[in-house]
Amino acid sequence: MHTFVQELKKSMFAEGLDDNELEKLCSIAESKTFFKSEKIFDEKDKTSSLYFLVEGRIRIERKAFPKRHLFIPQIQIVKHGQIFGEMAFLDNVPRSAIARAAGSVRVIIFDSEKLHQLLTMDANLGYKVMGNIARIISRRLRRMNDHWLSAVGSDFVIPEFEYSN
């Protein structure tokens, strides 16, 4: 059995996958270690690999807006057992944020092209994995909405915000 199988097995990303499907997924994956403060990817990078965090913590950051911010806006913390980098993976657009190791971390990397190819060829696996990714992002969006609404006060009117799609 591939050593990654056990690491992925209990995650939401691999929910519903049988051992055979997990093996397929792991056969295209690689593992890498990053040290504290190292960037896994940078804003505007044209890479689109999908990452699974095995150990440690990742900070998702944005570059400061010129003249508006002195601090580095931190959007999220990724904890072990979670995926990150899925926006560029799904849309093949440049990275929208920086992923930085908050300490020593180990990640499993799914090359974008190899993963898309695998999911297209094995549509059952593709359906399960895409469903899991959709559920993960949906929960993140739900939490972001909660976060937004609990952070803003009644003196802070929410501007009309349109779904672009």
Binds a copy of itself (CB under 8 A): choice among 87, 94, 106, 111: 87
Q: Give the integer Cα–Cα distance in Å for 129 and 144.
A: 22
Task: Using CB under 8 A, pick the residue from 9, 10, 32, 139 that binds a copy of itself.
Answer: 139
Q: Which residue has the tokens 């549509």?
A: 123
Is position 86 an interface residue for a copy of itself (rule: CB under 8 A)? yes
The reply to whether 149 sits near a copy of itself by the rule CB under 8 A is yes
Site for a copy of itself in 16-75 (CB under 8 A): 62, 65, 68-71, 73-75
Lay out the sheet containing 29-34: strands in order across: 29-34, 105-110, 50-55, 83-84
Residue of the chain from 28, 43, 76, 105 that contacts a copy of itself (CB under 8 A): 76
When asked if residue 96 is in the footprint of a copy of itself (CB under 8 A), the reply is: yes
SS3 annotation, 55-89: ECCEEEECCCCCCCCCCCCEEEEECCCCEECHHHH
Question: Which pair of tokens denotes residue 15?
Answer: 């929910």
Distance CA 50, CA 30 (A): 11
The residues of the shown chain that bind a copy of itself, judged by CB under 8 A, are: 12, 62, 65, 68-71, 73-79, 81-82, 84, 86-87, 90-91, 96-97, 119-120, 123-124, 126-127, 130-131, 133-145, 147-154, 157-165
